[in-house]
Chain A
Amino acid sequence: MNFSSLIFIFFFLPVFLLIYRFIPKKCRYLVLLVFSILFYLYSGLYNFIILISIGLINYLVILLISKFKKLNFLYYVLILLNVSTLLVFKYNHSLIFPLGISFYIFNSLSYIIDVKRNKIKAEKNILYYFTYIMMFTHVTMGPITRYSSFKNDLANLNPTKDDFYDGFRRFLNGLIKKVLISDNLGILFNTLLTLENPTSILNIFILLVFALELYIDFSSYCDMAIGLGKMIGINYKENFDYPYLSKSISEFWRRWHITLGNFFKEYVYIPLGGNRVGIFRNIINLLIVWFLTGMWHGNTVNFLLWGMYYGIIIVLEKHVFKNILDKLPGFVRHIYVVLIVLFGYIFFIGVDIIPFIKTIFSKNIIDTTTIFYMKENILLIIIGIILCFKMPDKLHDKINNNAIINVILPVVYLILFIITISFIVSGSFHPFLYNNF
């Protein structure tokens, strides 16, 4: 199930909220578990069985180790098992890739390692454990969440009314952005990729459209997840902090998919020695992290190249350019980040890299088709770009206390909601017209 599907918005969510509100606080986690099972089961029995099996093995083995200290080596076996499960599904194309596995394996790994490091105790309550692993707000696309904070929330599921309404509005913001902006950017992106005889401007436009789509899609999904969490009483960490406004690539990655970055920092980079080692060792550590980041994102060579591309740039920023970069004026640094990130997407979007780059630098600069698609989607692109800035949220905070705005706002949301629904419904609009010619 998908947060922006009709079944979720019109059936799952209202029924869930109704039951959740009126059940005693102590039992609420059970409602979460039951609805999470329904939510995930909807994606297929196959996915469900894999998730349950991985969850069960991890739960039982961890419990076993915590009883018998001699079995400590099993931690490593378990970590290896989880990582190799992920690798098998990622690289064996004959297997169906289970929904959300990249995320719930990472949650599982953080749980295993945290228990091993004595940061948390092994969870005895299997229902608690499975609520964490299967929680519908984060099972498919994160945020990657540590068990310690989740468990705290689970023990006291009692959102304030203000949090509830605030969370709902955040969910709504995410839903509207996802359906009206990022889904349409996605359609545009796919259309642009199929155009014959690409031009230089077209390829740059493709990178821009993809940059906007990827950010708005993922961040609006997180808005929905965080908003839902707030309504329930679960606090998620923010996953994005206006990454495209960064002034260096290192900063960009501190502000983009923050929970993933934290995961690699906490469980890979720091254990390898982090910054407290010699330059050479530090470079190796950074490259390992970026190699893994590339791998996590996809299963082709392009993704590995993409990871290494960032690894190298971050090494250079850290050890070579640092002083130069710091002295440059802010806007130059912004341009630098945008260019590096856009160029990086060439590896990400699954095109043939060399021809794509050649076209960018070719003399075939622009044609009517390129102009057509740019003009057709001008409003979409402008809104997309605006959403990368802090301005909408600042405006949001400013107008919040304006009495007139507060009267108009619910009506605006209602209209936007209906438009959003009209866009979702027309996803199934297949005019089959020419059976009559």
Chain B
Amino acid sequence: MKRTNKIIFIFIILMIVLFDFIFIFSKKENYSYLENRYLKKFTISNIDDYLSDHFPSRNKLLSIKTKVDLLSGKTYINDTYIAKDNYLIPKFINNPKSHYIYETINDFSKDKNVYVMFVPDSILVNEDKMYYHLDIEEDNELDNLYKNLKYSTNIDLRDVLIEKNKEEQMYYRTDHHWTTFGAYYAYVEFMKTKNEEYLNKEDFNIEKVSSEFMGTTSSKVLGVNVLDDIYTFNTNNDLEVNYVDKNIITNTLYNEKYLSEKDKYAYFLDNNHSEIIIHNKNLTNNKKILVVKNSYANSFIPFLTNHYEYIYVIDMRYFNNNVSNYIENNNIEETLILYNMYNLYMDMSIVKME
């Protein structure tokens, strides 16, 4: 026993010295791509934070922690549910100020033709895959929002997404976004609501652009190695995509460069921009629509290009002009407000809209 204690001491001390050596001589990173944040710089008052941010094999250790949690039977780690079929599902967080949302939209849509699409999150649509059926607030919140939206045409996607989710994948396993399939059925629902023709799946050339997507949710539970596929639904249109805020004009809705980076969802519409104008040169119907949106719309907007000659896209987090004036100046007849529930509640920038 005495010898055992000595060996234990030697093992642990060697481990400590090894970590110390690697720590002292290793190059310190500034930024963590996994966590999307800058790591702490050294000051005397945050030595501990600095040490753990720059600890040798930090990401390995973080995934060890997750594995131990999973082994101990946990299905809820860092606000993320580990669900059946390798789904990682972010928790929904309520916001007591949500009434500002429908108040803003009611004010805005009194004299306009406005469609509202609040997209349910993975947690609502994938409820059947969760190990526990916790009281899901999001359902009530959606009911409440739609009940209070008085002047807009409100499109409820819950039934269709839950139905289609039985056959196809409506949400990524590793990311908080919907898949292009989810966006497609939302597009169909949108066109049905407007009583207009829509394209069938067969009308598209469906292409898998990546099979190595590890989205934002997977960063929360490091060590769960699941990969997602990203698809695009392509049609042959001659497009002019104008990223107004960056003064860049291209002919594609996608940016290849992001497929080799961590956040591959940014492939759609080049991540987030305050203002984008998309012109389909194959159309001459002079139909115009404004999409007020967050990133959920990035994989949805490509479907609209088949029907609108001009699509104006604004993101209220970065867009600081008056939206009503914008509509008037550009002679836009329709507005679509498209947000997913979680981020609608988290960022609340929509209340800037007037």
A interface residues (Cβ-Cβ under 8 A, vs B): 5-7, 9-11, 13-14, 161-162, 164-166, 168-169, 172, 367-369, 371-372, 375-380, 400-401, 406, 409-411, 413-414, 417-419, 421-437
Q: How far is the CA of A435 from the CA of B32 in the complex (A)?
A: 14
Residue of B nearest to A17 (CB): B13
- Assess whether B5 is in contact with A168, with CB atoms less than 8 Å apart: yes
Chain A residue with Cβ nearest B13: A14
Are B9 and A10 touching (Cβ within 8 A)?
Answer: no
B68 touches A422 (CB 8 A): yes
Q: Are A428 and B9 in contact (CB under 8 A)?
A: no
The smallest C-beta distance from B291 to any residue of chain A, in angstroms, reads 15
Chain A's closest residue to B90 (CB) is A433
List 14 extra interface pairs beyond A169-B9, A423-B68, CB under 8 A: A10-B20, A165-B5, A168-B9, A369-B135, A372-B132, A375-B132, A377-B74, A410-B7, A419-B68, A422-B61, A422-B65, A430-B35, A434-B347, A437-B295
State whether A432 and B36 are in contact (beta carbons under 8 Å apart), knowing that A6-B55, A422-B65 are contacts in the complex.
yes
Q: Tell me whether A169 and B5 are in contact in the complex, defined as CB-CB below 8 angstroms, given that A5-B48, A431-B78, A437-B176 are known contacts.
A: yes
A172→B55 contact, CB < 8 A:
no
- Cα distance A161–B11 when bound, in Å? 16
Of the A-B pairs whose beta carbons lie under 8 Å apart in the complex, a sample of 8, sorted by A's number, is: A161-B6, A169-B9, A410-B7, A414-B12, A421-B19, A428-B53, A437-B176, A437-B346
With A431-B35, A432-B35 as known contacts, state yes or no: A172 contacts B61, CB within 8 Å. no
Residues of B within 8 A of A406 (CB): 1, 3-4
Is B49 in contact with A14, judged by CB distance below 8 angstroms? no
Find out whether the CB atom of B220 lies under 8 angstroms from the CB atom of A401.
Answer: no
Contact between B15 and A380 (Cβ–Cβ < 8 Å)? Answer: no
Contacts of B5 in A (CB 8 A): 162, 165-166, 168-169
Assuming A10-B19, A165-B2, A406-B4, is B62 touching A429 (CB within 8 A)? yes
Known: A7-B47, A378-B73. A425 touches B4 (CB 8 A): no
B73 near A376 (CB under 8 angstroms)?
yes
Chain A residues whose CB sits within 8 angstroms of the CB of B47 once the complex forms: 7
Most chain A CB atoms below 10 A, which of B9, B295, B347 = B9
Complex CA–CA separation, A417 to B134 (angstroms): 35
In the complex, which residues of chain B have a beta carbon less than 8 angstroms from the beta carbon of A162? 2, 5
A168 to B15, CA, bound (A): 14
| Of A371, A380, A424, most B-chain CB atoms within 10 Å | A424
* B residues at A contact (CB < 8 Å): 1-9, 11-13, 15-17, 19-20, 23, 34-37, 40, 47-49, 51-53, 55, 58, 61-62, 64-65, 68, 72-76, 78, 132-135, 176-177, 216-217, 219-220, 263, 265-266, 271-272, 294-296, 340, 343, 346-347
Q: For residue B58, which residues in chain A have a CB less than 8 angstroms away from its CB?
A: 425
A10 adjacent to B48 (CB under 8 Å): no
Residue of B whose beta carbon sits closest to that of A5: B48
Asked whether B74 lies within 8 Å of A376 as measured between CB atoms, the reply is yes
Task: Give chain A residues whose Cβ lies under 8 Å from the Cβ of B11.
Answer: 410-411, 413-414
A410–B72 CA distance with the chains assembled, in angstroms: 22
Closest 5 CB pairs of A and B: A165-B5, A428-B52, A422-B61, A422-B64, A400-B1
Please state if B263 and A14 are interface contacts (CB–CB under 8 Å): no
Let me know if B346 and A368 touch, CB within 8 A.
no
Chain A's interface: helix, strand, loop or mixed, by majority?
helix
Residue of B nearest to A436 (CB): B263
Report how far A380 CA is from B72 CA in the complex, Å: 8
Chain B residues with CB under 8 A of A409: 4, 8
Give complex CA distance A406, B7 in Å. 9
Give the distance in Å from the alpha carbon of A401 to the alpha carbon of B51 in the complex: 39
CA distance A13 to B19 in the complex (A): 14
Residues of A within 8 Å of B40, CB to CB, are 428
How far in angstroms is the closest Cβ of chain B from A125? 32
Whether A14 pairs with B8 at a CB distance below 8 angstroms is no
Residues B8 and A427 in contact, CB atoms below 8 Å apart = no
| Interchain CA distance A411-B11 in the complex, whole Å | 8
Cβ-neighbour of A400 out of B4, B36, B219, B266 (below 8 A): B4
Q: A369-B134, A427-B52 are in contact. Are A436 and B35 (CB under 8 A)?
A: no
In the complex the two chains form, is B36's CB within 8 Å of A433's CB? yes
- Please give, as numbers and ranges, the residues of chain A lying within 8 Å of B132 by CB-CB distance: 368, 371-372, 375
Q: A6-B51, A168-B5, A425-B62 are in contact. Are A418 and B295 (CB under 8 A)?
A: no
Q: Are A424 and B52 in contact (CB under 8 A)?
A: yes
* Contact flag A437-B12 (CB < 8 Å), given A165-B6, A375-B73, A431-B78: no
Residues from chain B with a CB closer than 8 A to the CB of A414 are 11-12, 15
CB-CB under 8 A for A425 and B52, given A372-B134, A406-B3: yes
By beta carbon, the residue of chain A nearest B222 is A429
What residues on A are CB-neighbors of B294 within 8 Å? 437
Given A10-B16, A10-B19, A437-B295: A419 and B73 interface contact (C-beta under 8 Å):
no
User: Is the Cβ of B343 less than 8 Å from the Cβ of A437?
Assistant: yes
Output the nearest chain A residue to B343 by Cβ-Cβ distance: A437
Question: A431 and B220: CB pair below 8 A?
Answer: yes
Partner of B8, one of A375, A378, A410, A428: A410
Residues of B contacting A429 in the complex (Cβ-Cβ under 8 angstroms)? 35, 62, 65, 78
> Could you tell me if A172 and B35 are in contact, using CB atoms closer than 8 angstroms?
no
Contact A436 to B266, CB < 8 A, known contacts A7-B51, A368-B133, A380-B72: yes
Is B52 in contact with A6, judged by CB distance below 8 angstroms? Answer: yes
Q: Which chain A residues border B74 with CB–CB below 8 Å?
A: 376-377
Q: Which of B1, B52, B134 has the most CB of A within 10 A?
A: B1
